[in-house]
Structure 1
Amino acid sequence: MRQKVAELEAQLAAPNKLLSSYKTMLFGSRSEKASIVVNDQARLDLGDLDETVVLEAANDDMPSPGRTRRRHRNIGALPKYLPRVTQIIEPDSTQCACCQGDMHRIGQDVSEAIDIVPAVLRVIATVRPRYACRRCETDIVQAPAPRRMIEGGMATTSFIAWIVTQRFGWYLPLYRQSQMLAGHGLYLDRSTMGRWVQRTAWWLQGLYDRQLRFIHGQARIHVDETRMPVLDPGRGKERINQFWAHGIDDAPWGGPAPPAVCYVHARSRSHRTISEQLGAYAGILQVDGYTAYKALETANRSSGSITLAFCLAHLRRRFVDLHKSTASSITAQIIKLLGRIYRIEAEIRGISAERRLSARQEKSKPLMIELKRLLDNTLERISAKSTLAQDIRYAQGHWVGLSRFLDDGRIEVDNNMIERQMRPIGISRRNSLFAGSDGGAESWAILASLLQTAKLNGLDPFAWLNDVLTRIVSGEIRNNELDQLLAWNWRPGQTSAPLEIAA
């Protein structure tokens, strides 16, 4: 009877957990940063800290040792690189009230305030005079017309670059941009702006391909996927496609690879799809526990050997969710152990791979051994149908990949680097709802990849895109020179001739 009761309780736990998850999605906090008190939630006795599980966010955004993250606050002075407009306010009179003599300047008070000039729309009139000889009247000379992104179009490269940056760099849908421009007296149809976006992606296809090849040339990459709704006119509804994200960032261990991400549009999230995308890649693949990745780690893979490193944050998230609904002492112990591992990671962030490996072997490896022993012992004492047992079996089935960071200082403990690059896609998808076609989704992937990578490298996405498009369209940069336009290699060019603005 006791066994039967345990089985029934385990069966009941699954729908209860599902109901709790729905309630959390509707009414709970969206952040993982929260304090969870294991026993008495109302007790604030500082002497009982050992019984409190502080749930810190499992991410790799922590500052490197010896460096504290500075807040970018303008207290006392505004940024010096901003242009200054001096406004001098003189008194009504500079004559002395006593003797009526002229007063002389003895000093001044200066105060600064930030100002903004809203977007200014203007028309660039390109004039190309023609010259002819009065004697022979046969030879006519005229400067060639500059190349434009869209031949015969009514928009400059800068204007199109602005539209594209607002759409894919700052997630502002085209219909909202159309409304904003209408406020300036310029009425643009969204279909026109959509064609500009597709044309921009066409010009940048080669640069996108170069960036993706560069990512696949690294020894370690992160991969994740997210859904991408696409209109399917034949069926009269949406079709759920996928965006696969391939990313790199060696900053946590001071490696050579700059931060970069490429989104790849596909109709499927199958093993075959990701295998085709990776092509001949050989190296370390940092991923979550999705089954499509597991078949990549085969000894007979003809295109190259892949080693999988799994995500400790995904494991941790399972036990955090379970602890919120059960307040179990076992889940509290597991969360504590994982929290200690993350604190070690925060301490060693930014140092060399060799030193990270040494610290992990000394400090993190015993914690992982203790965690494995706790999971194995717990599984023997609980119902095989319980949610806790399912989470423990997940950990056991992925343990080799979860522990791989202990043997290589280049590997991260989680896949949060690429998960953060999925957030811009999620925001943009929520604002735009869907892509209009497969071609629109392809353009989305190309432009989002390049602009997000520019932001990751600390660049102003509009300044980068405007310069890159200008140099590609003008022919200054050939196809075999595109590498110098990648965000981490880019230096601003001087391609724009001075404009003569008519009064």
Structure 2
Amino acid sequence: MPVLDPGRHRPRICQFWAHAMDDRSWGGPSPPAVAYVFADGRGTAEIARQLTGFSGILQVRRLCRLQSARPRSWRRNPARLLSRPRRRKFVEVYKTTQSPFAREVIERLQAVYAIEAEIRGSSAEQRLATRRTRSAPLMEALRTRLTAMVGQFLSQSKLAEAINYALNHWDGLTLFLRDGHVEVDSNTVERSMRPIAMGRRNSLFSSSEGDAESWAILASLLNTAKLHELDPQAYLTDVLERIVSGRTKSHQLHELLAWNWKAARRRTPQAAA
């Protein structure tokens, strides 16, 4: 996120971090949401600060960097870090080289994704049972093939890089075979990053850090509303009107969260008329 910095001839490059969750794939009780955090950079100290006190599972794109960023609080409340199958790496290799082996890996992973599509929305227990029965053999066969082929390509090639990444992070890549709550990829958060990238291209930069922080808050509200299939403009217009008019008091602000707002509209259909 470029931010204007008085005295410099070019904007200062800052970051938006996206924290997203969506339990709908396993019928969980928590509503889907995304929160964006504005920060000066993307270093390990920054993510360690944001995750202080967190316990649970983090599905991330880059595992190694976060391994070294574990806050001390995680010693008391462990957080499991896992990276996702980097199908994209093999797709990129196939697009540029038409490698038959890259295509084979893609097709093997597509079979796993097809199973995930079938069980989406099932309980965590049902998903885990299906994964152990159907997906585990596919992943083990893939591991065998990757291990057999890793020495067949130049060590500095993109295909060798993709293979080594998968093998070196196999435990994290296959955690979904041991926990029905876990997704097979990190698309939940990656989908939440796209609107920010599009908005950045349209607006080019933020005028100050304060404006960037406001941008992050507004983006969190609007993109969470989209996750609940709400019209963002209608939602935000009503929320702001309720706050400004005093209809919703400060101790009632939780009622304006997207999922509570949507539930209230369902209970009173005439309010949406």
Distance 1:292 1:475, change over 3 A: farther
The CA deviation at 1:236 is 2.2
Partner of 1:308: 81
The CA deviation at 1:303 is 5.8
Confirm or deny: 8 A CA contact 1:253 1:350 kept in the other structure: yes
Confirm or deny: 8 A CA contact 1:254 1:350 kept in the other structure: yes
Amino acid of the structure 2 residue aligned with 1:357: L
The alignment partner of 2:2 has SS state of: strand
Give the Cα separation in 1 of the matches to 2:118 and 2:147: 29
In the alignment, structure 1 residue 281 sits paired with structure 2 residue 81: no
Matches within 5 A, 1:6-21: none
In the alignment, structure 1 residue 249 sits paired with structure 2 residue 22: yes
Structure-2-length-normalised TM-score = 0.90
Matches within 5 A, 1:162-177: none
Using CA pairs below 8 Å that are at least 6 residues apart, which structure has the higher relative contact order?
A: 2
Q: Which moved more, 1:461-470 or 1:399-408?
A: 461-470
The CA deviation at 1:367 is 0.8
Percent of aligned positions that are identical: 51
Aligned length: 265
Matches within 5 A, 1:431-442: 431-442=202-213
Amino acid of the structure 1 residue aligned with 2:142: L
Confirm or deny: 8 A CA contact 2:112 2:138 kept in the other structure: yes
The CA deviation at 1:298 is 7.9
Partner of 1:474: 245
The alignment partner of 1:477 has SS state of: coil
Confirm or deny: 8 A CA contact 1:311 1:402 kept in the other structure: yes
Amino acid of the structure 1 residue aligned with 2:2: P
Partner of 1:202: none
In the alignment, structure 1 residue 265 sits paired with structure 2 residue 38: yes
Larger helix share, 1 or 2: 2
Task: Specify every segment of 5 or more residues in structure 1 that has no aligned partner in the other structure, as ranges.
Answer: 1-227, 495-503
The CA deviation at 1:300 is 7.4
Give the Cα separation in 2 of the matches to 1:353 and 1:321: 32
Distance 1:236 1:367, change over 3 A: same
Structure 1 runs (4+) greater than 4 angstroms displaced? 296-300
Give the number of the structure whose alpha-carbon radius of gyration is greater. Answer: 1
Give the Cα separation in 2 of the matches to 1:380 and 1:300: 41
Cα-to-partner distance string for 1:20-48 (whole Å, 9 max, x where unaligned): xxxxxxxxxxxxxxxxxxxxxxxxxxxxx
Task: Specify every segment of 5 or more residues in structure 2 that has no aligned partner in the other structure, as ranges.
Answer: 269-273
The CA deviation at 1:289 is 1.9
Distance 1:483 1:288, change over 3 A: same
Distance 1:470 1:298, change over 3 A: closer
Cα-to-partner distance string for 1:114-141 (whole Å, 9 max, x where unaligned): xxxxxxxxxxxxxxxxxxxxxxxxxxxx
Amino acid of the structure 2 residue aligned with 1:377: A
The alignment partner of 1:244 has SS state of: strand
In the alignment, structure 1 residue 339 sits paired with structure 2 residue 110: yes
Matches within 5 A, 1:390-429: 390-429=161-200
Give the Cα separation in 1 of the matches to 2:87 and 2:228: 30
Give the Cα separation in 2 of the matches to 1:393 and 1:374: 12
